[in-house]
Structure 1
């Protein structure tokens, strides 16, 4: 059975959704027969890396809200993170374009390590305050799962990997995906947002039992917290 996941490495709800889905998958009796396929997505392709601003300052600037309001808006997200064993560190999150990190996910897919790469990129960005647009930082991350510095450097310059990222983004657009995380089960059922673990468990069971035919449309089980292309989280 196949599960396709569209995600942006700078999307906090994608991190939460990943952890909740993994908990459900771990308890799923047929988990060894589930193929998880990560897809690239960019919430803000035109965003420029700016290390002078943290996550709160950036959102305050683009939304026009005071910092205190932005921080208050994140309280539920921070709690959702804690429930998923994530300690978000938004004070230190660097404003970084995510395209190069998405190229690393594509590289990792070739060796069956996309899930590990996603996890390390999320941790680097949201917990350690790393610049995921920096090749040196990306090299350190890649080396943790067996890639050499040279492999990572070449990956960030690869036209082939760039095309794969853009292909994923285009596919998301064609499918009408406007926010992430977005999970598709057997090309039939979809879950939008960082849903609780029990919902992922239910859809895993449902998808496994039905083996639905391929379909270009989704039956969205439930909408949930996500980040959209307008910068809303």
Structure 2
């Protein structure tokens, strides 16, 4: 069963939601039958990367409230993240447009490394205070995932996967996604936001039950004969 996750690298609740979903999946009986696909979303596509601006000031500017209030909100989110075993360092976070990061993630997805790319990008932004719009930074992160260096450099130096990012965003708009994280399970159920563990547990169970009914395992009327098996003698 497929689970599609729309997310933005600079969304603090997306990293928290990732951890909570992972915890739910780890305890799910049929976790080996779940396929996860990460999809791009941009909270602020017009954002100009600016390493000189404080993240609290940026939040205050776009939301229209004081810097102190922005700092209080970020402190609250930092505690939420800590409860999930994550370390947020908003004092080091660099305000950056996430479009190039999403392009790198799409390259990683083609290599079966989509989840690893999301993890690396989240950690780079929220924990390490790295510029996720910087080509050298993205190249280093991609190489750390095992992506071929030349393909990685060529991708980041071009507009490759730009259409894929835009397609994900357009698809989210079509589906009525208003914010992230947004989890779609079997194209029938959705979880919006970094919900608590029971919500993910219940939704996984309901979605998988439906998926099993829609995709029953084949049964055969078998005529037996001499055979060999992996755990038996021939």
User: Equivalent residues in 2 for 1:63-102 (5 A)?
Assistant: 63-102=63-102
Aligned residues: 213
Distance in 1 (CA, whole Å) between partners of 2:82 and 2:203 is 24
| Larger-Rg structure | 2
Q: Report Cα offsets for 1:138-186 as digits up to 9, x if no partner.
A: 0111111101433222222444411100000000011111100000010
Q: Report Cα offsets for 1:111-164 as digits up to 9, x if no partner.
A: 110000000000000000000000100011111110143322222244441110
Distance in 2 (CA, whole Å) between partners of 1:88 and 1:145 is 22
Q: TM-score, normalised by structure 2?
A: 0.87
CA contact 1:41–1:169 (8 Å) conserved in 2: yes
Q: Report Cα offsets for 1:26-78 as digits up to 9, x if no partner.
A: 11111111000110000100000000012112112223322111111223312
Distance in 2 (CA, whole Å) between partners of 1:2 and 1:139 is 29
User: Equivalent residues in 2 for 1:53-132 (5 A)?
Assistant: 53-132=53-132
How large is the RMSD of aligned CA atoms in angstroms?
Answer: 1.4
Alignment of 1:177 onto 2:182: no
> Where does the alignment leave 5 or more consecutive residues of structure 1 unmatched?
214-233
CA contact 1:14–1:193 (8 Å) conserved in 2: yes
Aligned to 1:101, the other structure's residue is in SS state helix
CA contact 2:4–2:183 (8 Å) conserved in 1: yes
Cα displacement (A) at 1:192: 0.2
> Where does the alignment leave 5 or more consecutive residues of structure 2 unmatched?
215-234
Distance in 1 (CA, whole Å) between partners of 2:72 and 2:182 is 25
Alignment of 1:29 onto 2:29: yes
Question: Counterpart of 1:6?
Answer: 6
Distance in 1 (CA, whole Å) between partners of 2:14 and 2:90 is 15
Q: TM-score, normalised by structure 1?
A: 0.88
